[in-house]
Chain A
Amino acid sequence: MTVVEITSESHFNELTTSLPATTPITLSFHTSWAAPCAQMNAVFNYLSTQYTDIAFLSVDAEAHPEVSETFDVSAVPFFVFIKSGKVVRELSGADPKELSAAIQELSGQKPAGEPAPTVENGTDKDATAEEDLNARLAKLVNAAPVMLFMKGTPAAPQCGFSRQLVGILRENQVRFGFFDILKDDAVRNGLKTFSDWPTFPQLYVNGELQGGLDIVKEILVDDPNYFKNL
């Protein structure tokens, strides 16, 4: 199942009343300008392909204040989990692991990628976990046209190189999504293998690794309008 974007309060009401009562629903509240939302949107999308028994609905919190108010949304990203017409859980913030766990709890099924439990073949399970991770990473690097994997957040960088790269992006008025790799070991380690790149920060443009701070500085020396031309 794919994520359905809510277009109005009536659309929301229609959808939720038309779904069978047994279908769990998860709502994602986001805004278009908050970078953590871009990151979590990608994770939300990915999870929707893994858990096909849940209805995944997405709401632009600012565009639909009435829906946001119904669920008392004061900050984004925000997730609501509904079972049998009742809110069973709410999640605030941008933690992919937490979201993943909450979705798994809501669902009755195992994630689509997992094979039926077998006694032998630990390697099979590992291979599938790796496929899952790579699929997740592929989605993450494409979460925004310009995607920064950094230590910390743009508001609170935890590394001088990450801070400098954020500074450069802001100076060049680049709209970018970001991912705090300090919050997710799987992504932190997985991305090093996925991109054959040992360090962070890592900047991706249209899903392709450009490099780290030193490369971005070099690119701008040769082509100061690099970001404007994207």
Chain B
Amino acid sequence: MSTEASTAPEVPPDSGHSETPYEDKIRWALTQSLKPTYLKIYNDSHKHAHHTAMRDSVSKETHFRLEIVSEAFEGKRLPMRHRLIYQMFSKEMNAEGGIHAMQLLTLTPKEWEDRQAKSNVE
């Protein structure tokens, strides 16, 4: 199990034509390298479509918000966890018209459990 992958593993050739290539890639890469126990990918691009910086963008996959729960985050402080993810998608984030932003929630299974428990009590 590779938890220290710094570049995304190659995606399998897609048999169909996906409308969400970036989302597919993100899901594939994260699942492969981090073996998350929980993974949610939100595409928030529509919330930013009207912003000046996005004016010339034709992509529908510019802004993502990810919630990832994985053992791989154990022992790592938040900036390190985020760097791990950013490094995986550095190509996509640097590409012209690529991913513009990724908001990340990165928790270990224990932290996730604690958070669920807290919100159930309140």
Contact = CB atoms under 8 A, between A and B. Distances in A.
Nearest to A209: B79
Contacts of B53: 151, 158-159
A213 B52 contact: no
Interface in A174-211: 196-199, 209-211
Contacts of A151: 53
Interface residues of B, number: 18
A198 B53 CA distance: 16
A197 B82 CA distance: 9
A213 B103 contact: yes
> How many A residues are at the interface, by size bracket?
10 to 19
Contact of A198 (B47, B51, B78, B86): B86
B101 A161 contact: yes
B48 A160 contact: yes
Interface string B42-70: 00000110011100000000000000000
Contact of A218 (B78, B90, B93): B78
Contacts of B102: 199
Interface in A143-170: 151, 158-161
B101 A211 contact: no
B39 interface: no
Given A196-B83, A198-B86, A198-B93, A214 B105 contact: yes
B8 interface: no
Given A199-B102, A211-B79, A159 B86 contact: no
Contacts of B93: 198-199
A4 interface: no
A219 interface: yes
Contact of A215 (B47, B52, B78, B90): B78
Contact of A159 (B51, B104, B105): B51
Contacts of A211: 78-79, 82
A215 B102 CA distance: 12
Q: Which 4 A-B pairs have the closest CB atoms?
A: A214-B103, A215-B78, A211-B79, A198-B86
Interface of B: 47-48, 51-53, 78-79, 82-83, 86, 90, 93-94, 101-105
Interface of A: 151, 158-161, 196-199, 209-215, 218-219
9 contacts: A160-B48, A160-B51, A199-B86, A199-B93, A199-B102, A211-B79, A213-B103, A214-B82, A218-B105
